[in-house]
A and B are shown apart, each in its own frame.
Chain A
Amino acid sequence: MDRRRQLRAHLQQSGLAAGPRGDPRGGGRGHGVPEPRRSAPGPGSEQPDQDPQRTAGHVLRPRRHHPGRGRLPVAVPAHPGRPDQQPAVGAGARRAASVLARGSDARAGVGDRRDRLAEPGLLDGDLPRRAPVDPGGAHRGSRGRRCGSLAAVRLGGVAAARPGHHDQPDPDGDRGPQGVQRGVHPHRRGTGTATQTLSALIYKAAFEFNQFGYSIALALVLAVIVAAVSALQFRLSARSGRI
């Protein structure tokens, strides 16, 4: 309970607080805890996206597991579907998604949809153990400290890592709060999606983007491919008399 109060006070100080039950700003659980992703309206819903908890298509939610490893709210991508259609993904799935996001596939230049991807550490609610390189100091907050993670820049205005100047709405749709272009990470290199396998895409679609239906469709395509190859192998083996 004390931890919840601390979190609530922290969120209210940073302008991200969710009000009590019935407050139109949120607070669905009545303890000032931001509404979980499951009940947050998606971008396609009728409600305007003015909830301070949801900025640039993201929802801030407190971490519930790993006590002591991080006490800040977690920025997770909001599900585009209706609230009642959104699957509830547990901590294990979020953790697994963060693992997969550490691969080369989650690196820069992987498309607009990837821009909505929270940094793995943020997705799991962890602050990086060491601040990323920022030689120009462009990512520093108003107090001269770092803004937690470059993921906050990638998210484009989401005050995900630390409250501060990121609370301001993003005036430029294509750029982050400090003018850093979204999705293009200056320190990230890799092969992008060029080396991504279908099985990895299936996993990421399900547990990173919460697109379970799309992921199952991909899995069925993979199953059809494997079944076709198996049938061909059976036919060739039968023709040669080995079966």
Chain B
Amino acid sequence: MISRYRPSTLVLELGMVLGAVAFLFPLYILVVQSFKDSHDRSSPLLPSLQPTFDNYVAAWQEAHLGAALVNSLIVTAVSVLVITMVSALAGYALARVTSRLSRVAFWVLMSGLFLPFQVALIPLYTTMRDLGLLGSLWSLILYYAGQQLSFSIFLYAGFLRSLPLDFEEAASLDGAGAIRTFWSVVFPLLRPVTGTVVILNAIAIWNDFLTPLLYLSGTSNQTVTIALYSFVGQYVSNWPLVFAGLVISIVPVLLVYFLMQRHIIQGFAGGLKG
């Protein structure tokens, strides 16, 4: 069947263009404002006639963005690693073991999906305080690992249930044990859903503001979101510095996206089919 360009196609294209403009417009404002001087009173929609990089230098130095980026990177990487390992193993067991206890355990873990995080907000805070983890990056890693586990196990278990047992039976006939079968046979097959889990969790952890504010504020360990917030005052906010800091903070995310673009798209395309 030969597709033809119809009037409805034009309408769809216009809709997509409008959607793209709606998404790109805030990014345009972000970049334009980051190059403006704080005393520049020109229209925020127009680029500055005298662009300056001073905002980037000031944002990097005053907010200690270098250390904040490293902290965010550590928290995100370790948390995603823990989430991926634990949820893949748990999902494998819950998908393959069909006993009554396994089903009960699955639904208990899934209860974390519909419980609002506010229920655990205060008990977790007091627990972290009593453990002496406030101000430490480990508090964030523990929090994220626990919080994101339910959703990740849900994704892994759903994907594993759609996988045929033939590969595992073949590995078992070759003499592989359960652990060896998982790492050598099953886990490579989970690459699409692993990509989905990594992307979703990494973005959520990198952009989180409330939890680092609660656990790390007032200490030298600050993530990017908290470091950028230091430019927002009660009466005066230095928006050019904020915008410059935001541009700096999205650079690592964009780099990771462009480097892994093919894997990310494949992961989203195949990981959510289940």
Residues of A that sit less than 8 Å from B by CB: 65-66, 87-88, 90-96, 99, 102, 119-121, 126, 128-130, 132, 199, 202-203, 206-207, 212, 215-216, 218-220, 222-223, 226-227, 230
Q: Which of A92, A121, A219, A230 contacts B217 (CB 8 A)?
A: A92
Asked if B135 lies at the interface with its beta carbon under 8 angstroms from chain A, I say yes
* Proximity string of chain B (202-229) to chain A, C-beta cutoff 8 Å, 1 when within and 0 when not: 0000000010011111110000000001
Q: A91-B218, A99-B213, A199-B116 are in contact. Are A215 and B122 (CB under 8 A)?
A: yes
Q: A121-B234, A226-B114 are in contact. Are A219 and B119 (CB under 8 A)?
A: yes
Could you tell me if B218 and A66 are in contact, using CB atoms closer than 8 angstroms?
A: yes
The closest CB in chain B to the CB of A234 belongs to B114
Chain A residues closer than 8 Å to B216, beta-carbon distance: 92
Could you tell me if A92 and B115 are in contact, using CB atoms closer than 8 angstroms?
A: no
Q: A90-B134, A126-B234 are in contact. Are A65 and B218 (CB under 8 A)?
A: yes
**How many Å lie between the Cα of A203 and that of B235 in the bound state?**
23
**How many Å lie between the Cα of A206 and that of B123 in the bound state?**
11
Q: A223-B115, A223-B116, A230-B114 are in contact. Are A129 and B235 (CB under 8 A)?
A: yes
Count A-B contacts at CB 8 Å.
84
B64 smallest CB distance to A (angstroms): 13
Could you tell me if B217 and A96 are in contact, using CB atoms closer than 8 angstroms?
A: yes
Could you tell me if B214 and A222 are in contact, using CB atoms closer than 8 angstroms?
A: no
A38 smallest CB distance to B (angstroms): 12
The closest CB in chain B to the CB of A205 belongs to B122
Could you tell me if A222 and B118 are in contact, using CB atoms closer than 8 angstroms?
A: yes
B101 smallest CB distance to A (angstroms): 21
Could you tell me if A92 and B114 are in contact, using CB atoms closer than 8 angstroms?
A: no
The closest CB in chain B to the CB of A98 belongs to B234
Could you tell me if A199 and B217 are in contact, using CB atoms closer than 8 angstroms?
A: no
**How many Å lie between the Cα of A144 and that of B131 in the bound state?**
49
B92 smallest CB distance to A (angstroms): 23
Could you tell me if A130 and B218 are in contact, using CB atoms closer than 8 angstroms?
A: no
Most B CB contacts (10 A, CB to CB) among A65, A99, A126 go to A99
Chain B residues closer than 8 Å to A121, beta-carbon distance: 234
Chain B residues closer than 8 Å to A87, beta-carbon distance: 126
The closest CB in chain B to the CB of A87 belongs to B126
**How many Å lie between the Cα of A97 and that of B213 in the bound state?**
10
Could you tell me if B123 and A216 are in contact, using CB atoms closer than 8 angstroms?
A: yes
Listed A/B pairs (11) with beta-carbon separation below 8 Å: A65-B218, A90-B134, A91-B217, A92-B134, A92-B135, A92-B213, A94-B218, A96-B217, A128-B236, A206-B122, A219-B119
Could you tell me if B234 and A120 are in contact, using CB atoms closer than 8 angstroms?
A: yes
Could you tell me if B233 and A202 are in contact, using CB atoms closer than 8 angstroms?
A: no
B67 smallest CB distance to A (angstroms): 16
Asked if B268 lies at the interface with its beta carbon under 8 angstroms from chain A, I say no
Chain A residues closer than 8 Å to B118, beta-carbon distance: 199, 202-203, 218-219, 222
Chain B residues closer than 8 Å to A203, beta-carbon distance: 118, 121
Asked if B180 lies at the interface with its beta carbon under 8 angstroms from chain A, I say no
Most A CB contacts (10 A, CB to CB) among B125, B135, B218, B233 go to B218
Interface residues of B in 116-173 (CB under 8 A from A): 116, 118-119, 121-123, 125-126, 129, 134-135
**How many Å lie between the Cα of A101 and that of B73 in the bound state?**
29
Most A CB contacts (10 A, CB to CB) among B115, B122, B123, B234 go to B234
Nearest 8 CB-CB pairings of A with B: A91-B218, A95-B217, A65-B218, A92-B217, A219-B118, A219-B119, A230-B114, A121-B234
**How many Å lie between the Cα of A220 and that of B121 in the bound state?**
11
Q: A92-B213, A96-B214 are in contact. Are A129 and B115 (CB under 8 A)?
A: no
Could you tell me if A128 and B235 are in contact, using CB atoms closer than 8 angstroms?
A: yes
Interface residues of B in 231-269 (CB under 8 A from A): 233-236
Could you tell me if A223 and B235 are in contact, using CB atoms closer than 8 angstroms?
A: no
Chain B residues closer than 8 Å to A65, beta-carbon distance: 218-219
Q: Which of A90, A91, A219, A230 contacts B122 (CB 8 A)?
A: A219
Could you tell me if A91 and B219 are in contact, using CB atoms closer than 8 angstroms?
A: yes
Could you tell me if A219 and B121 are in contact, using CB atoms closer than 8 angstroms?
A: yes
B196 smallest CB distance to A (angstroms): 23
A46 smallest CB distance to B (angstroms): 28
Chain B residues closer than 8 Å to A226, beta-carbon distance: 114-116
B180 smallest CB distance to A (angstroms): 35
Chain B residues closer than 8 Å to A202, beta-carbon distance: 118, 121
The closest CB in chain A to the CB of B115 belongs to A223
A30 smallest CB distance to B (angstroms): 24
* Proximity string of chain B (181-215) to chain A, C-beta cutoff 8 Å, 1 when within and 0 when not: 00000000000000000000000000000100111
Q: A93-B125, A132-B235 are in contact. Are A220 and B119 (CB under 8 A)?
A: yes
**How many Å lie between the Cα of A91 and that of B216 in the bound state?**
9
**How many Å lie between the Cα of A192 and that of B217 in the bound state?**
27
Q: Which of A99, A119, A216 contacts B229 (CB 8 A)?
A: A99
